Amino acid sequence: MRVWLAVLTILFGVVSVHAQEPPQPAELQKMYDDALAQLKAAQDRKNELGIENESLKARIAELEKQVADTQSRVTTLEAAVAESADKTFFYRSHYAAWQTFLSRYPQLMTQWKVFLENGLLSVPHQVPEFIDTDWPLSAKG
């Protein structure tokens, strides 16, 4: 009985497959038009992606140029920092040597303190008289 049931199921499946009608020309034309529309949409998207790819390549080139410029500036700044560190070391070592020198000669240390307190290193408050502050207007030709 099961065998007959399986055979009938297979026969009904085969009959239903053969019972479908072939597609009509209008349906074929619609499927063809749909396929063409999908193909055109895919081609348009491919073109859009190509344009986007070119703009991204240009952006990458611009960013690479910026990175190169930044790296050159960093190199320049690192050189300036190294030079500044060398100068700082030079001045600190000379200042320490000067302090040691002054500690060995107390009389010289007192003279140095008097020199610093004298105010000779400060900016003068009066403008020297040999400078004419009204120069453009005072010159008569």
pLDDT, tens only, 98-118: 999 999 999 999 988 888 887
The answer to the question of residue 12 being in a domain is no
* Interatomic CA distance for residues 48 and 122, integer angstroms: 71
Number of domains, the chain? 1
The answer to the question of residue 57 being in a domain is yes
Q: CA distances (Å), 36 to each of 47, 54, 88, 136, in order?
A: 16, 27, 76, 84
The answer to the question of residue 135 being in a domain is no
pLDDT digits (tens, 9 = 90+) for 7-55: 667 766 655 544 467 778 888 888 888 888 998 999 999 999 999 999 9
* Interatomic CA distance for residues 120 and 132, integer angstroms: 23
Domain limits for position 57: 23-118
- Residue type at 27? E
Contact 99, 105 (CB under 8 A): no
pLDDT digits (tens, 9 = 90+) for 115-131: 888 766 666 566 566 66
Q: What is the mean pLDDT of residues 76-91?
A: 94
Is residue 141's pLDDT more than 60?
no
Q: What is the pTM of this model?
A: 0.45
Higher pLDDT, 26 or 3: 26
